[in-house]
Each structure stands twice: as structure tokens, then as C-alpha cells.
Amino acid sequence: MAIFEGVCTALVTPMNADESVNFEKLEEIIEMQIEGGVDALCICGTTGEASTLSHEEHIEVIARAAKAINKRVPMIAGTGSNSTETAVYLSVEAEKAGADALLQVSPYYNKATQKGLIRHFTAVADAVKLPIVLYNIPGRTGVNIKPETQAYLMKNVENIVAVKEASGDISSIAKISKLIGDNGTIYSGNDDQATAILSVGGKGLISVISNIAPAYAHEMVCSYLKGDVEKSREMQLNALDLIDALFCEVNPIPVKAAMNMMGLNVGPLRSPLCEMDPANEARLKKALIDFGIEVK
């Protein structure tokens, strides 16, 4: 059974002016997301700047989010690392903290072989009881989790049940769908490819745009799942300019800027990420306004 069907927001981690985590604001945006109708929340992923959090902060963010969500929707916690030992540690602690599932990015920088990836993900899965979502994003990690590797893991490791596919390779994703059959679930990791991935068997979107438009993202995906393909397609195409603006600089720089423009006050980024180039900021503001989102 899928962890969720529909839209899961890859939530930002709000910061105070001094770059400490703003837990009060975290609880506030969680409420906004749930009221917006999202089907799940992903905490401490790429959009949540997990790579700049200390281990203590990482676990506290997961624990505080789990308490705020209170099982109203599934909470997927990002606990991946380029070190197997660290990934196991974070995963065990996230399970204790109340996560419902785990997001496991492929080890970055190391560029493990497919054999090494199988060993890594299996070690994490063996350390916990929670369902695990693989996260394939070779543009950031430098290595692709091949379709055959994904299928092997979903067929042979009981709690590896899904993948967040952000490779951008629709042909490869179609192959994954064919290989895994009913043994796993595919989620789009790219907002601009949501309907395309749904068309080859995907069950949902782990989304950045839903940070600013949760109800829209939910309706776009769920319309497709309910059979209204034309409506979903129109919504996907209508959102493309805003999606492009949200990725005109590396995520989560633009989405945090957008939320601040909207008055959500999620604060600054942690270094080495920094504020947007003024020209890109102007482009993002225009895209928000054209989409019908009020900016302050």
C-alpha cells in the first residue's frame, strides 16, 4: 500500500534572523499545509535544508513536526546521508521521534556503485521498521539509482516501498514502473513532471510548489488520480511559469524567497545558500503575481 496518494509537500525549514530554527513558524506552516489539503508532509529533505542542520537540530525538527502533525497526514522524514552509519543513526532516531516513513537519498559525493547502493539502503532498512522511500536525484548526488537497482530493492527489502524520482528521465521512470509492478510506488520529485509521471504509473508528487500553493498542487494531482486527466494537464501547464521561477536558482532559495514575499516570514537560508540575484527575484515576484498569489 502506498504511503500516500496525492501531494506531499517537501517543507521548508523556517529560520530566525540568526539562522537558528524557528520552531514556532514551523508549526504555523504545518497548519497552513494541512488546511490546504496536502496528503503528506516531508520534513528535513532537500527543501528543508537538512544538509546544514546539526544532528541534534535534525532530530528535533522531526520530533517537533511529528507532534504538530499528530498523525493527521503521514510524515516522511529525510534521514539520508553519504555515510551509511549516519543514515542509520538518523533513521533510528527519526523512528523514535515519531516519523511515519523515511526518505533516503542516494549517498552523495561518494558516487557508490549499484552494489554499494544496495548494501547502503538495505543496511538502513534493516535498522528500522518504517517504510522507506528511495530518493533518486542524480543532479545533486552524482549517481543514478538505476531502474534495475530500484526494482531489486523494492522486491527484496520488505520496507523499501517507494521512490521519489527526480532524475528527470521519463523513459527511465517508465522502465521503473514496468520493473516494480505492484511491488512499489513511484512519486514525482519534479513539480514540472507531475502529470507525466502519473501517466506512467506514478501515485503522487513530492512537491516544492505546494509550499506556496498547497490546495492547487493537491487538486492538480488528485484530479489526475480521479480520472480528470484534462483538468490535471491544464493545471500542470498553467503552473509551469511559476515552477520555472521556483527553480531559476537552486532549491530552496527561490521558494523561501517566495514565501517571504507572501508574508509567511520563513526567514533566511543557511550558508552556503544565499539570497537571490535581484533579476531572478523580480522574475519570481512577477510569476507569483501572474499566478494569482498576493505578494507583500
Annotated catalytic residue, options 25, 135, 203, 216: 135
**pLDDT more than 90, % of the chain:** 99
Backbone angles phi, psi at 163, to 5 degrees: -140, 140
What digits encode the pLDDT tens for the residues 118-136? 999 999 999 999 999 999 9
Say which of 25, 164, 203, 256 is annotated catalytic.
164
Each residue's pLDDT tens digit, 174-227: 999 999 999 999 999 999 999 999 999 999 999 999 999 999 999 999 999 999
Residue at grid coordinates 533516503:
104
pTM of model > 0.75: yes
Q: pLDDT value at position 296?
A: 86
pLDDT at 150 over 90: yes
Alpha helices in the chain (DSSP H): 23-35, 55-69, 84-97, 114-127, 138-141, 147-156, 170-180, 194-199, 214-225, 229-238, 240-246, 253-261, 278-291
Per-residue pLDDT tens digits for 239-282: 999 999 999 999 999 999 999 999 999 999 999 999 999 999 99
pLDDT tier at 1, thresholds 50, 70, 90: confident
Instruction: Check if 286 is active-site.
Output: no
> Is 226 assigned a catalytic role?
no
102: left (phi over 0), alpha (psi -120 to 50) or beta: beta
